[in-house]
Structure 1
Amino acid sequence: MRVFVAGATGAIGRQLLPLLSSTGHETIGLAGSYGAAVEVELLGGEVAMADALDAGALSLAVKDSAPDAVVHLLTAIPGKISPRRMSRDVAWTNRLRTEGTRNLLYAAELAGAKHIITEGFAGIYEPNKWIPATEVAPLWRNPPRQFAPMFAALRSLEERTRQADGLVLRVGELYGPGTIYSARGSFVCEVRAGKMPIIGTGDGIFSFTHVHDAATAIVAALNSDARGVLNIVDDEPAPVREWLPILAELLGAPPPKQMPVALAKLVGGGPGMALMNHRRGADNTLARRTLDWAPKYSSWRQGFAAELPHAAHP
């Protein structure tokens, strides 16, 4: 199968291209710059040059690639995000999830691609700390103001994917190479410096996904007829109060301090408090059954330990 990957040089894309090649697929990676083109070639893919926000150029690039499948992993998330300025920090990613998705799926239709797979986010569900969300659970209706544009962009991406009879893979909090949870990632650096507190009771539930597990899920999806939405997360959703101290201990960092909600609102604003106390975990049962897929790291515990054995002394 010829697979066109938009976002080929991102954290998931760097895992996906070699995996596709090793499983017999021909890969084409979208590149918007010379540096990205070189990286695509090093990852074993053919290069398609275009800007995802240039509809004409993108349509030509996809058509010339003659793909059987199109995978949308386009993001432009900075290495460090401020919850207080979330709407600013993810503004470019929001455009890629709205304009970029429209352009890419239109190009895929013109090129006759049969498989459409897009990257969603499993942290989009209406808060409920007791029950991990299945794919039919309601989405967060009134997220913090700074999150609202991101959630609107994700909803737009999912709606366009459904209209194209494609599959949305809602990945969890990504960790591994190229993420904020890598040995030199911004979140790990904050934890190592003792600057990442537990806000309030730390009840927010995180579902994690290793970037390689996200890539294997994409390969499994290409070999299936799955459509709609699937949660691609590990087996152990966990509250911040549980996983953050374990991460700190692994890093040889000071135990996270406790920060009252009122103080957190003054320091980091409401968005940070919402993440730490209201986020909902996700359930991967349907993805396991539908794709015959399982994460290599069934828990963030094993994944963090594997990724960060020397993180205390980078």
Structure 2
Amino acid sequence: MRIFLTGATGFIGSHIIPQLLDRGHRVLGLSRSDAGAEQLEAAGAEVHRGDLEQPETLASGAAAADAVIHCAFDHNFATFFENTKKDERNIAAMGAALEGTSKPILITSGVGIGTPLNGGTATEDVLNPHHANPRIATELAGAALIARRIDVRTIRLPQVHDTSRAGLITPLIAEARRAGAVAYLGEGQTRWSAAHVRDVAKLYVLALEKGEPGARYNASVEEGVSARAIAEVIGKGANLPVRSIMPDEVERYFGWMAPFAGRDMIASNAWTVARLGWEPTGPDLLSDLAALDYR
């Protein structure tokens, strides 16, 4: 198949490209710059010029392909709410280009959207339309397409990592340097799910080839890694002190990430593994954090 891949030059997208090519697919990668186009061509992909600010350019890419994998997202957290609305518009535009066909579109969300109302482990069968996380806009946009009989499949991401970056933990390290210490709240029992980027890329391809219309897949490998364990590895690697803090100190040590300090983001992958036969093999989160180049 010819796959239109948004976010093709990004952290996850750049790992999806070789997985797709190895499976005999062709990749039409979205790029807004000459440098991005060169990167895609060097990776063996075709180039589709476009921009997240112009939904029509994503729609034309979707129309030119047999399937869509939508990984692109504007990760500027200063405008997070606006960025979720932008994602909603882009999903709607690509969906309109696929309407009346059997072509699938894979969209990208977060595991937290699958958290039950009373808290606990996120699962694939849960979708709370009133979820407080603005990223719910992505899944509501997908649900609107499903209602129009468009084949939408959702990949929910945990903290995706390798030895160069690790989801929200990468900006957490920057906040720790600013504050002069790596902190965790209370006893550090907050837990975040995680997966190695290569395993996440494998899951996208499996969901494309074996997935079901309307299904949601949790890309979590580790159900939950404790905040204290994460902080201790970062402290050793970055040569920073590690300390427990009280709720009134969260903003000082976490900055704009304060809302995440005490939020569990744990997720099961049992249903996803059973449905797709996903077999993760990558390193765990703490191993990658220990190997990170903190210079």
Common topology (TM > 0.5): yes
Change (3 A) 1:139 1:297: farther
1:62, distance to aligned residue in structure 2 (A): 3.2
Report the secondary structure of 1:4's partner residue: strand
1:10-62 alpha-carbon deviations (Å, 9 max, x no partner): 11111111221122111110122222222221221101122344344433343
Report the secondary structure of 1:71's partner residue: strand
Change (3 A) 1:139 1:58: closer
Measured in 2, the distance between the counterparts of 1:177 and 1:40 equals: 22
Unaligned runs of 5+ residues in structure 1 are 79-85
Say if 2:205 is the partner of 1:205: no
Letter in 1 for 2:112: G
Matched residue, 1:300: 285
Measured in 2, the distance between the counterparts of 1:127 and 1:302 equals: 32
Higher mean displacement: 233-242 or 16-25: 233-242
Matched residue, 2:69: 71
Which of these residues, 146, 150, 154, is aligned with residue 162 of structure 1?
A: 146
Unaligned runs of 5+ residues in structure 2 are none
RMSD: 3.0
**Total equivalences in the alignment:** 290
Change (3 A) 1:142 1:99: closer
Letter in 2 for 1:279: D
Say if 2:121 is the partner of 1:135: no
Say if 2:85 is the partner of 1:98: no
Change (3 A) 1:95 1:74: farther
1:213, distance to aligned residue in structure 2 (A): 1.4
Measured in 2, the distance between the counterparts of 1:247 and 1:267 equals: 14
CA contact (8 A) 1:7 1:13 kept: yes
Measured in 1, the distance between the counterparts of 2:129 and 2:173 equals: 27
TM-score, structure 2 normalization: 0.84
Matched residue, 1:5: 5
Matched residue, 1:81: none
Change (3 A) 1:115 1:153: same
CA contact (8 A) 1:236 1:299 kept: no
Report the secondary structure of 2:155's partner residue: strand
CA contact (8 A) 1:3 1:27 kept: yes
Report the secondary structure of 1:102's partner residue: helix
Change (3 A) 1:75 1:92: farther
Give me the identity figure in percent: 22
CA contact (8 A) 2:7 2:71 kept: yes
Report the secondary structure of 1:294's partner residue: coil
